Amino acid sequence: MLLKINRCIFLMPDWIFIIFSVVFSFIIVVLIYPIVTYVFPNIQQSNGSVNLIDSTFFYKIIVGSLIGPLIETLIFQHLVIKFLKKTKYISKNKLLICIISGILFGISHSYDMLYIINITLIDLYLAYVYLLYENKKRNYHLLK
């Protein structure tokens, strides 16, 4: 089943692949939060430790929507995944690469435990998409 889904996604034209990946990541966000809060009902949420209230609206938009995600993608997808792919014992295990990337990304968003779990699960998908797209350029299936 997963191989069929992987093949279908792999064979999509690039522009459809990108749109599908973005839409599916938002669906994951909407679905994961209630599931995680149900599975871990005793996790306390913080009131948000990020304080951008004193910042200008323009600054919030630029940093929160453009610069932050670009830097996070560079660090937690590009650099971490490239490093792990060059590591002798991990390089062939794509699932482990996705898990390590997800955990590091989740820990970097340490607002509260619920948020860490959600972000880790989301990045598992995003790391998979990153690896799939990278392999798509080489015409190589990720799951074989």
The pLDDT tens digits of the residues spanning 1-44 come to: 777 877 787 788 877 877 888 788 778 777 777 777 777 776 65
Residues 6+ apart with CB under 8 A from 12: 20
Q: For residue 23, what are the domain limits?
A: 2-39+54-137
Contact 84, 101 (CB under 8 A): yes
Q: Of 25, 38, 43, 40, which is closest to residue 105 (Cα–Cα)? A: 25
DSSP structural state of residue 44: P
Q: Given this model, what pLDDT does residue 52 score?
A: 46
Q: Given this model, what pLDDT does residue 96 score?
A: 92
Count up the domains in the chain and report the number.
1
14-39 and 113-137 are packed helices; what angle lies between their axes, rounded to 10 degrees? 160
Task: Provide, rounded to the nearest whole percent, the portion of the chain with pLDDT above 90.
Answer: 5
Q: Residue range 100-115: average pLDDT?
A: 85
124 found inside a domain: yes
86 found inside a domain: yes
143 found inside a domain: no
60 found inside a domain: yes
Q: What is the pTM of this model?
A: 0.66
Query: Distance of CA 23 to CAs 18, 35, 37, 47, 129, Å?
Result: 9, 19, 22, 28, 12
46 found inside a domain: no
142 found inside a domain: no
110 found inside a domain: yes
47-101 pLDDT per residue, tens: 554 454 556 777 767 766 777 777 888 887 788 888 998 988 888 898 899 999 9
44 found inside a domain: no
